[in-house]
Amino acid sequence: MSTLQNLEETIEHWFAQGAAAAGNPEAEAAFQQLRNALEAGTLRSAEPDAATPLGWRVNAWVKRGILLGFLLGQMREMGGDEFSFIDKHTYPARRFAVEDGVRIVPGGSSIRAGAYVAKGVVVMPPAYVNLGAYVDEGTMVDSHALVGSCAQIGKRVHLSAAAQIGGVLEPVNASPVIIEDDALVGGNTGVYEGTIVRRRAVLAAGTVLTRGTPVYDVVRGEVLKASEDQPLVIPEGAVVVPGSRAVGKGKGAEWGLSVYTPVIVKYRDEKTELSLALEDLLR
């Protein structure tokens, strides 16, 4: 049996124990092994899998292991004089060395233990990366950006100022938010509820994507929606901007009201690439 299989069985065992696992050294050792693997990027709460319809597989047992960490944790004072906080002792703030190759600019950013941050990532203050998240090489996490719990961020992604990438920890079998390689997420943009943004997509400033909001693709003449068992998926290379659609009945129609909806207005081309050239200068 592989080490990973052993860890999965051990995590499942202690998670099933509930409160009885608290204070057990074996349970804490198993959780520490899981947290270390998450930080190293050798274990992920969701990972690419070409055999699945969406190309991603959720590792629900990993999410249960993350929840186990909260169960085992005790409230403690942590940090130093300049950055003191009180949290579960199982989830301290991560510390980095020069050898990690992660550039964290001073000014109040925090990366929680159990998050993977690859070499070449830049974190501008203040930003927050939560537990279970995976941030791949060359990505920029700009000021006031959030990478939520278990969110999966690909290579060379730009999360612009105040971008909010929602976390999905429960239910444990739910897909987290996934932003694939080379996507650009504009300022004040929010991506929530397990949405998948395919590679090279561009989300203009102020775009909000959720399960309940349809996306109108005026290029292909389609309306993209999430279903009961499938998340909202933004196609590869799509350029999405905030838009509106008219209310078709009742007082809304009578008063000429509109409601927000994202709109795909084009797909990335050479002109779009030129407008993104500035990103390379920021790294």
Q: Give the pLDDT band of residue 16 (cuts 50, 70, 90).
A: very high
Q: Give the pLDDT band of residue 173 (cuts 50, 70, 90).
A: confident
Tens of pLDDT, residues 75-117: 999 987 777 899 999 999 999 999 999 999 998 899 999 999 9
3-state class of 10 per DSSP? helix
The predicted pLDDT at position 280 comes to 56
Comparing C-alpha atoms, which of 208, 149, 210, 207 is closest to residue 176? 149
User: Do the beta carbons of residue 203 and residue 268 sit within 8 Å?
Assistant: no
The predicted pLDDT at position 13 comes to 97
Whether cis (ω within 30° of 0) applies to the bond prior to 171 is: yes
What pTM does this model have?
0.92
Higher per-residue confidence, 108 vs 51? 51
Rounded average pLDDT over 233-250: 96
The predicted pLDDT at position 108 comes to 87
d(CA 119, CA 232): 30
Measure Cα distances from 66 to 27, 36, 239 in Å. 12, 12, 34
Measured at the CA of 268, the angle between CA 258 and CA 125, to 5 degrees, comes to 80
3-state class of 147 per DSSP? strand
Rounded average pLDDT over 1-21: 91
Give the tokens for residue 11: 């995590």
As a residue count, the chain comes to 283
CB atoms within 10 A of CB 81: 5
Rounded average pLDDT over 62-73: 97
d(CA 177, CA 166): 6
d(CA 6, CA 68): 16
Q: Give the pLDDT band of residue 278 (cuts 50, 70, 90).
A: very low
User: Do the beta carbons of residue 130 and residue 149 sit within 8 Å?
Assistant: yes
The predicted pLDDT at position 172 comes to 83
205-226 burial, b at 16+ Cβ within 10 Å, e below that, comes to eebbbeeebebbbeeeeeebeb
Comparing C-alpha atoms, which of 174, 213, 172, 208 is closest to residue 189? 208
Q: Considering the chain, what is the average pLDDT of its residues?
A: 93
Measure Cα distances from 71 to 17, 23, 24, 193 in Å. 10, 9, 11, 24
pLDDT at 1 over 60: no
Q: In the chain, what are the domains?
A: 3-72 (1.10.166.10), 75-277 (2.160.10.10)
Residue 229: phi and psi, rounded to 5, are -115, 10
% of the chain surpassing 90 pLDDT: 86
Of the given ranges (157-166, 245-254, 271-280), which has the lowest mean pLDDT? 271-280
Tens of pLDDT, residues 178-206: 999 999 999 999 999 999 999 999 999 99
